[in-house]
Every structure is written in C-alpha cells, then in structure tokens.
Chains A and B, each alone.
Chain A
Amino acid sequence: EAGVTQSPTHLIKTRGQQATLRCSPISGHTSVYWYQQALGLGLQFLLWYDEGEERNRGNFPPRFSGRQFPNYSSELNVNALELEDSALYLCASSLWGFNTEAFFGQGTRLTVV
C-alpha cells in the first residue's frame, strides 16, 4: 500500500513568488494535515482538511492557504513568499481526524532566496 506522497521533493523560489505543494494521502484516508518544520522551531501545525473542508488552521498568516480535492489529495499554497518561509513542509493523513494514527510523507523542502 502506498504511503503519503508529496511533490515536489525540493522547491526553490524567489521572495515574493508563490509556491504550490501537493500531497496525496494514503488510500481511504480522508483527513490531511500540513505542518511546517523550520530550522530550530520544531513542527508547527498549519492546516487540517477533512472531507474537503478546512477544519482547523494554525497560527499562520492568510497567505498560507490550501484546499482538499474530491479525491482527498491536497494542495498547500504559500503566497508572497518570505525568506523565513524556508522550511520542510510535511503532509500527513489519517483515517479520521486526530483520533487515529497520522502518517507523514517525506516532505517538500522549500527554499526561498
């Protein structure tokens, strides 16, 4: 069974540009989460999608947004990129919310120059 897949693996953008990150959950999982792991800051919760709806978002500005598609895959968009957005972005999926195990993908390394 395929795990959570994320693309691209690496992404280099210029300050002010937009970045789009993609995530495919494990088959049968309806919940998708996004986390940011910046150097020295640990994993910060970004967004939670379930059944196509945004269920919760972390303490991030509105330029961080996303969506979940009917096939439960998800997209994270970061607008007006800033240097401090450079981080590893991790996507996870679970069967049903946070009551079940969350499985993570390998992440997208975003570098803003």
Chain B
Amino acid sequence: SQQGEEDPQALSIQEGENATMNCSYKTSINNLQWYRQNSGRGLVHLILIRSNEREKHSGRLRVTLDTSKKSSSLLITASRAADTASYFCATAVYGNNRLAFGKGNQVVVIP
C-alpha cells in the first residue's frame, strides 16, 4: 500500500532555529496531511494540502507539495520547546479509501 515516508527520521535543533522535514510518496494523491503527536498521545492535525496546491501556511508552519517529485516538506520556523514531538505525513490516494501514514519524524527542540 502507498505510504508517506518522512526524512530525516530524527532531528535535534536549538530553540529559535527552523526545522524542515520531508515526506515522499509513490503514487498520485488526492491530498497530503501533516500531523503532530506528543509523547504517544493523539494526533493533532496541522495542515492539509491538496494535489493542486503548491504551498500552504499556518502560523509558523509552511508546507510545500511537489507532485512532480512526489514529495512534500514541512517547515517549522522559529522553533520552540513545545514543538518537540513526532511529526507524521499522511497521504490520501484516489480510490484507496484510507489515509496512509509514514513512520514519523522525531523532532527535539532544545531550550
């Protein structure tokens, strides 16, 4: 089944720095969604970007989508300690009737 794959798997940065995560996928998608998960709790929805969109912003978050390269990136600007979490991308594929998740990307922001 088609899944997003985040890269890199783990990232450690200083507070105030920017954090960038990438996600690649294999087949055409309807949309791609990014989520955050703190310490094994529920997932918090961050951004949904559709296949006909190239970039979306939400506060300190910026998501880009390159359908020709089948990849997406999530940028967190001016990171804070509270941004420490696992970040997942999930793809909705036409006709697949599911959201397929990548393995997650652990981000640690050091105060």
Contact = CB atoms under 8 A, between A and B. Distances in A.
Interface of A: 4, 33, 35, 37, 42-43, 45, 48, 55-56, 58-59, 88, 90, 92, 97-107
10 A-B pairs with the lowest CB-CB distances in the bound complex, closest first = A98-B92, A56-B97, A106-B42, A43-B101, A104-B43, A45-B98, A104-B42, A42-B103, A101-B48, A107-B42
23 contacts: A33-B98, A35-B101, A42-B102, A43-B43, A45-B100, A48-B98, A55-B97, A56-B97, A56-B98, A58-B98, A59-B1, A88-B40, A92-B43, A92-B99, A98-B30, A101-B33, A101-B45, A102-B33, A103-B45, A104-B42, A107-B40, A107-B41, A107-B42
B43 A90 contact: yes
Interface residues of B, number: 23
A45 B90 CA distance: 11
Interface of chain B, helix or strand or loop or mixed? Answer: strand
B42 A105 contact: yes
Contacts of B43: 43, 90, 92, 104
Nearest to A39: B40
Interface string B16-49: 0000000000000011010100001111110010
Interface of B: 1, 30-31, 33, 35, 40-45, 48, 88, 90, 92, 97-104
A105 B43 CA distance: 7
A90 B42 contact: yes
Contacts of B33: 101-102
Given A88-B40, A101-B33, A45 B99 contact: yes
